[in-house]
Amino acid sequence: MYAQSLGAVFTAESKPFEVELVVAEVGRSQDEDHLYRLTFDGSIADETGFVVMGGAADAVVHALEGPWTAELSLREAVRAAARALRTAGASAQTGNDVAPSGVTALDPSLLEVAFLERDPDTLRGSRRAFRRIGGPELENLLQYEQDT
């Protein structure tokens, strides 16, 4: 019902900007999570495990599908996503699916990273499950990626 209502808003009028939204329901376990990606044209896609948004989303998803598993730690998942983003960027420039050696590390200040916390009350006293990562915390998570 929610997805249909929101989809109707997206398709009812002309849009001066392209907007993508992710709607997430955090379950008791990862198997019970539901992720929906709503695109600027009103399309609704059921996503599994992770969501990539932006201009090269399909290429990043393709690069991330292999290394991503539900068992990855936050650090491992962020690093795998950074490698996938680098690979997708290199692929766009070279036509290959492999990032060439010497590809510069991604600037953490240019990345938008977030995750869903299973039990946010215990960590921040808030019922909001969405948590954005940036600044020193993101730099720390990516430290090894920047060194390689």
Number of domains present in the structure of the chain: 2
CA-to-CA distance for 45 and 59, rounded, in angstroms? 17
Task: State whether 127 and 63 are in the same domain.
Answer: yes
> Does 26 lie in the same domain as 95?
no
Best CA proximity match to 10, nearest among 26, 21, 25:
21
Prediction pTM value: 0.71
What whole-number percentage of the chain has pLDDT above 70? 70
Q: pLDDT class for 57, splitting at 50, 70, 90?
A: confident
pLDDT tens for 73-131 read 999 999 999 999 988 876 555 555 444 444 456 788 888 899 888 776 665 566 778 88
State whether 72 and 139 are in the same domain.
yes
For the chain, the helix, strand and coil percentages under 3-state DSSP, each to the nearest 5: 45, 15, 40
Joined together, the tokens standing for residue 126 give: 């808030």
What is residue 100's predicted lDDT score, i.e. its pLDDT?
Answer: 44
Q: Rounded mean pLDDT of the chain?
A: 79
Distances 26 to 49, 85, 116 between C-alpha atoms, Å = 11, 25, 7
Give yes or no: residues 114 and 43 share one domain: no
45 and 115 fall within a common domain: no
| 68 and 30 assigned to the same domain | no
Q: Name the residue range of residue 10's domain.
A: 1-49
Do 36 and 7 lie in one domain? The reply is yes
